[in-house]
């Protein structure tokens, strides 16, 4: 085999090769220091990009939450928008999209965000007034964390009993932790090098996606390991010891 190109090396890193292709490229890399060096270079560049993006993310303002129009705006505007919606869905959507693009910082942007909720109702033929009064859907928030030296640790701290935790292995380079159906204060995410703490809050569920390629990954609850990655499977700690859960594991905090 000739030297592996960037395309093959990247595809190897990202798990995008067929089994036969992967075996061939790995075999070549074992006997070719130049290609092994190139693979390391690309891995370092990839890690640098991921770390840099986390710096960027930390500076990002959170997207403004989508909440019912009745909460965000006064009654007059609700009535005005409702009338507009009743006339034509397209008018609202154009107003919202165009207004937001043309006037950043304008109150029109509030309409645009809320237009999603009302637009849905119109396209489904539902009563827009009822939609305006409906409570906001429970929010969810998530965060990613990249492995460091092939390791990821997710620590759940002081989370309420009854929180459903779903862990699964995914074909992605970074882990993704998402608090779902937040019904009170949002959990705090504290991200460190190859680790993340999810602290408190009031989410009904927590989804944890762990990279399949990472060598070591653990999910611990208040200092006790509940799930650990063991090769291609997850092992769930139970009262009787550990059980093989395959690529997905579920448990409830407090059980």
Partner 1 sequence: MDYDALFHRLHPALYRYLYRLTGDADTADDIAQETFVRLLRQSMPESEVRPWLFTVATNLVRDGVRKAGRRQRLLAAERFMPASVPRPDEMADRAEQVELVRRALAQIPLRDRQLLLMREEGFTYEEMARAAGVAPGSVGTLLGRALRRFAQVYRAQDGRAHEETDGTRG
- Going by DSSP bridges, is the β-strand pair 216-221/188-192 parallel, antiparallel, or unpaired? unpaired
Which one, 44 or 242, has the nearer CB to partner 1?
Answer: 44
Residues 118, 128: contact at Cβ < 8 Å? Answer: yes
Which one, 112 or 221, has the nearer CB to partner 1?
Answer: 112
Strand partners, 141: 179
Strand partners, 197: 155, 190
Report the nearest approach of partner 1 to the CB of residue 190 (Å): 14
3-state secondary structure of 254: coil
Residues 224, 253: contact at Cβ < 8 Å? Answer: no
Residues 244, 235: contact at Cβ < 8 Å? Answer: yes
Which one, 38 or 225, has the nearer CB to partner 1?
Answer: 38
Q: Which two tokens stand for residue 39?
A: 């693979």
Which one, 49 or 79, has the nearer CB to partner 1?
Answer: 49
Which one, 11 or 36, has the nearer CB to partner 1?
Answer: 11
**Burial tier of 182 (Cβ tally within 10 Å: 0-12, 13-18, 19+):** middle
Residues 163, 206: contact at Cβ < 8 Å? Answer: yes
Which one, 133 or 238, has the nearer CB to partner 1?
Answer: 133
Phi, psi of 206 (to 5 degrees): -135, 125
Residues 121, 113: contact at Cβ < 8 Å? Answer: no
Q: Which two tokens stand for residue 122?
A: 């119109």
Report the nearest approach of partner 1 to the CB of residue 222 (Å): 26
Report the nearest approach of partner 1 to the CB of residue 237 (Å): 27
Q: Which two tokens stand for residue 107?
A: 């109150």
Report the nearest approach of partner 1 to the CB of residue 223 (Å): 27
Site residues for partner 1 per CB under 8 A: 5-11, 14, 16, 41-42, 44-46, 48-50, 52-53, 55-64, 66, 93, 96-97, 100-101, 104-105, 109, 112-113, 115-116, 119-120, 123, 137, 139-142, 144, 170-174, 176, 178
Report the nearest approach of partner 1 to the CB of residue 144 (Å): 8
Report the nearest approach of partner 1 to the CB of residue 167 (Å): 16
């Amino acid at each position: 085999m000739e030297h592996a190109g960037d395309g093959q090396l990247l595809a190897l890193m990202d798990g995008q090769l067929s089994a036969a292709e992967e075996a061939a490229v790995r075999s070549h890399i074992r006997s070719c220091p130049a290609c092994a060096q190139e693979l390391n270079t690309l891995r370092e560049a990839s890690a640098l990009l991921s770390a840099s993006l986390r710096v960027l993310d930390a500076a990002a303002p959170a997207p403004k939450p989508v909440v019912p129009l009745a909460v965000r705006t006064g009654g007059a505007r609700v009535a005005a928008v409702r009338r507009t919606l009743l006339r034509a869905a397209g008018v609202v959507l154009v107003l919202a999209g165009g207004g937001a693009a043309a006037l950043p910082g304008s109150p029109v942007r509030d309409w645009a965000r809320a237009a999603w909720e009302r637009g849905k109702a119109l396209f489904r033929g539902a009563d827009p007034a009822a939609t305006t009064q409906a409570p906001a859907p429970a929010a969810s928030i998530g965060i990613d964390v990249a492995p460091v030296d092939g390791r990821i640790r997710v620590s759940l701290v002081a989370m309420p009993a009854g929180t459903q935790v779903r862990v699964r292995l995914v074909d992605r380079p970074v882990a993704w932790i998402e608090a779902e159906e937040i019904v009170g204060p949002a959990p705090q995410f504290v991200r460190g090098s190859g680790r993340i703490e999810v602290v408190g809050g009031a989410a009904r569920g927590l989804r944890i996606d762990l990279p399949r390629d990472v060598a070591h990954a653990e999910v611990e609850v208040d200092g006790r390991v509940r799930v650990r990655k063991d090769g291609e499977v997850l092992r769930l700690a139970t009262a009787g010891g550990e059980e093989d859960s395959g690529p997905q594991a579920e448990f409830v905090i407090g059980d």
